[in-house]
Amino acid sequence: MSFEKKKGIKRLISSINNSLAGFVDALLTEDAFRQLFIINSILLIIAFFLDVTKIERLFLISSCFLLLVVELINTAIETVVDRISLEIHPLSKRAKDLGGAAQLITVVMTIIIWLIILL
């Protein structure tokens, strides 16, 4: 099955639409992403009202966005693994565990950044 690749502005618009569809899908179907989105929305609002330097504010905001990015990548990994097979396999477990580990490290990093800046 072949299809003609979009080029130029049509490709950009299609890419943006696909990305927005993925974002909406994650919000509607993934509890972990939805919870992180709500928590990070609150943290972002707080970050704008804190009396911190611009670079500190940048670290606070960046860490919030990174949490969401890593959660989306982790969800994508889990989705692909499940698409291949729902059968329990050591490599499937490893892929999912590594994605979860990446998320855990990002959560810890975010907590450390916020604590260092606020304390």
Number of helices (H), then strands (E), belonging to the chain: the values are 4, 0
The confidence score (pLDDT) of residue 86 equals 87
List the domain boundaries for the chain.
Answer: 8-118
2 falls in which pLDDT band (50, 70, 90)? low
Mention the CATH class of domain 8-118. Answer: mainly alpha
User: With b meaning 16 or more CB within 10 Å and e meaning fewer, what string describes 67-81?
Assistant: bbebbbebbebbeeb
The whole model's pTM is what? Answer: 0.88
Catalytic residue numbers?
71
pLDDT at position 34, please? 97
pLDDT tens digit string along 56-106? 999 999 999 999 999 999 999 999 999 999 899 999 999 999 999 999 999
